[in-house]
Structure 1
Amino acid sequence: MAKDPSRGEFRKRLYFFTLKLIEFIDQLPKDNVSQRIGDELFGSGTSVISSYIEASAATSTKEINIHTIASLKYANECKLWLALVRDSKRAKPEKVKWFLDELDDISKILADSIKK
């Protein structure tokens, strides 16, 4: 279940997630498909934190929501690429599981923070 962390704690969590994701991508096989999936995974995975940082600097509720929703969308896209890495057997399921679990929790926190 998603906790309600402070902004600073959540930012650190996203940063740690991103660093681990970069390490994971570096360990993918060096074939063409893995590299392409890795590029997509890198793009969506790093965009989770970059959109969150944009939301943190926003000046209106509308702008905060736009960037938070973008961060949530990138988290969901990242889940897709991770599932493809796992299901195409380019990484062991147990290595992917942590990322998927973490993204589920991150997504819940982001969704809960979107101001209605």
Structure 2
Amino acid sequence: MGANVHEAQNPSSENDFIHKMKIAAKEIEETKYWLYLCEHSKNYPFDENLKNQILEISKIVYKILNTSINTK
């Protein structure tokens, strides 16, 4: 997700920026899924701090996306 957000900082257009941020959002959802599996598994390590961090990152990315889409 970080690479996608970083790449979005140099978009060729507003639509390109939104597209790259949407990809980052999809990566966030995938990360949430893997953390969920780790949290509910006895065989994988889990760190509650990682879960909290991804939730904070997702709030930021979704806010950026919503603002970008609504001001278009």
Q: Which runs of 5+ in 2 are unaligned?
A: none
Q: Are 1:51 and 2:4 matched, yes or no?
A: yes
Local SS of the residue matching 2:12: coil
Identify the match of residue 112 of structure 1 among 63, 66, 69.
Answer: 63
- SS, match of residue 26 in structure 2: helix
C-alpha distance in structure 2 between counterparts of 1:57 and 1:99, whole Å: 28
TM-score, with normalisation over the residues of structure 1?
0.54
Deviations along 1:59-101, one digit per CA (max 9) or x if unpaired, are 2110000001111110111010011012112114xx2x11111
Counterpart CA distance in 2 for 1:69 and 1:102 is 19
Q: Which residue of 34, 46, 49 maps to 1:98?
A: 49
Q: How many residues align?
A: 66
Q: TM-score, normalised by structure 2?
A: 0.83
Question: Identity over aligned residues, as a percent?
Answer: 23
Q: Which runs of 4+ in 1 moved over 4 A?
A: none
Q: What's the RMSD between the two structures over aligned residues?
A: 1.1
